[in-house]
Structure 1
Amino acid sequence: MKTISSVVENYIKSKPFLLNGLTLGIVNLTSLARIIQHDLENEMDKEVKQGAIVMALKRLSEELDFRINHKIEKTLKGMGEITVRSSLVNYNFPINQRVLNRQADFLSEISSLKDVFYTSSRGVNETNIILSESISDILERHFEDEKWLVKTDKLASITVKLPKDNVGTPGLFYFVFQRLAWDGININEVISTNFEITIVVSEEHIDSAFKVIKDLKKV
């Protein structure tokens, strides 16, 4: 049997921005109840009073605040060291066997170099290579016969060590990216492993991005 509470919860969970607004307490519940009343009545196939929707939203927002934010806050407080790197370049190539072979040769040449940054992410049709500007000439020598799709320089990265329970924390990355977006910080690239995330931004935004990431521990 459908109840107002269950129908409201299912409706809100299907709307990520409403869900986030409720957990932050920035949504006018009466206005929201009026807006969604018609949809809920169609779902329940009967008249639903606006006051009942408001009460269901209030209970839901209190439960979500604990269920979602408490777990995210606990995970964020467990973040480890933060490493910042500057003077990075991002190359984007279409995937083909030549690119993969040349990438292997490039890695072999730089394997003994210290204090350089290199990472690669591969999609279905293209691959990104992000590296220290100091070794970009080596990469371009290996890829001189390949045409990159995009080359972006003057980048910087923030790498954060994550606690082991981050994998089981829904909404963690959304929460992080949301805070960066609120500060007008555009993300150029994201590289993640199970217990580490690297966020690449323009050098002009690195100070602001570092402050946002550092302050997440205080949420």
Structure 2
Amino acid sequence: MKTITQCVEEILVQQSFLEEALQRKIINYTALAEELREPISKMLRKPVKVGAIMMALRRYQNPSNLRSSSHVKGALRQMGDITLKSNLFAFTFKNSVSLIESHRLLLDYVASNSHVFYAFTRGLVESNLMISGSEKEKVDEVFSEEILLDRRGDLAALSVQLPQNNYKIAGLYYQFFKQLAWSGVTVYEVVSTSNEITILVEDAVIEKAFSAIKSLKN
């Protein structure tokens, strides 16, 4: 049988913004308890009192405490350069036997044009290709026999240099996505290597995205 405390923890873990607002003490406990009374009553299949929910909320401790982690803070302070690229296009193709060959042909072209932004990710059924807008006709030419599922322009990329061994730090990427979400920035695509993360957003919000990520260093 679940307890009220367990129900509160389950709800907060599923709603990260609510959990963060509670941790930052910018939320009204009484109002939140009133809001949670009905769903918790349904979870327990019996009426619950607002006072009991308030007590559980006040006692709640973020188990990971990601924001205050010294490892996370240290990694954020060590972030390197933040590079911006605008006028990007993204293409989504259905995976096929010939897709890799088309990809190879485009790579040969990109290799001799170092100024071109290029990224490629392959999923189980489809693949994404991100490239400088100036080369969209080249993509149309090379991938003309492939099945195009989606095409999107007016994108920009924000690339962040990360410290060595960043992959060992739990919650580091969460800080990026949380900060962008709090700023109202929708992430279109994410591409990462061992020590670099590139986030694609709409070109119209790239400055807002830059400010949000830069603020993490502080």
TM-score when normalising by structure 1? 0.79
Are 1:155 and 1:200, in contact at CA under 8 Å, matched by a contact in 2?
yes
Paired residue secondary structure (1:97) = coil
TM-superposed CA distance for 1:162, in Å, is 2.3
Change (3 A) 1:98 1:55: same
Change (3 A) 1:11 1:153: closer
Are 1:89 and 1:152, in contact at CA under 8 Å, matched by a contact in 2?
yes
Q: Provide the rounded CA distance (Å) in 2 between the counterparts of 1:148 and 1:41.
A: 48
Structure 2 partner of 1:173:
173
Cα displacement string for residues 12-59 of structure 1 (whole angstroms, at most 9, x for unaligned residues) = 334434323322323211222334356657877998664454233223
Change (3 A) 1:36 1:145: closer
Structure 1 partner of 2:217:
217
Q: What amino acid maps onto 2:169 in structure 1?
A: G
Are 1:92 and 1:127, in contact at CA under 8 Å, matched by a contact in 2?
yes
Q: Provide the rounded CA distance (Å) in 2 between the counterparts of 1:17 and 1:202.
A: 23
Are 1:189 and 1:199, in contact at CA under 8 Å, matched by a contact in 2?
yes
Structure 1 partner of 2:120:
120
Unaligned runs of 5+ in 1: none
Cα displacement string for residues 40-92 of structure 1 (whole angstroms, at most 9, x for unaligned residues) = 578779986644542332232xx429822112444322322211112221111
Structure 1 partner of 2:75:
75
TM-superposed CA distance for 1:177, in Å, is 2.5
Q: What amino acid maps onto 1:192 in structure 2?
A: S
Q: Provide the rounded CA distance (Å) in 1 between the counterparts of 2:135 and 2:68.
A: 43
From 49, 62, 65, the counterpart of 1:64: 62
Q: Provide the rounded CA distance (Å) in 2 between the counterparts of 1:136 and 1:73.
A: 39
Structure 2 partner of 1:54:
54
Are 1:158 and 1:200, in contact at CA under 8 Å, matched by a contact in 2?
yes
Are 1:23 and 1:65, in contact at CA under 8 Å, matched by a contact in 2?
no
Change (3 A) 1:30 1:108: same
2:28 matched to 1:28? yes
Are 2:94 and 2:146, in contact at CA under 8 Å, matched by a contact in 1?
no
Unaligned runs of 5+ in 2: none
Q: Provide the rounded CA distance (Å) in 2 between the counterparts of 1:3 and 1:182.
A: 31
Cα displacement string for residues 74-118 of structure 1 (whole angstroms, at most 9, x for unaligned residues) = 432232221111222111111111122111122123223222211
Q: What amino acid maps onto 1:142 in structure 2?
A: V
Are 1:79 and 1:162, in contact at CA under 8 Å, matched by a contact in 2?
yes
2:143 matched to 1:149? no
How many residues are matched? 215
Structure 1 partner of 2:109:
109
Are 2:87 and 2:132, in contact at CA under 8 Å, matched by a contact in 1?
yes
Q: Provide the rounded CA distance (Å) in 2 between the counterparts of 1:138 and 1:42.
A: 57
Same amino acid, percent of matched pairs: 34
Higher helix share: 1
Q: Provide the rounded CA distance (Å) in 1 between the counterparts of 2:99 and 2:159.
A: 26
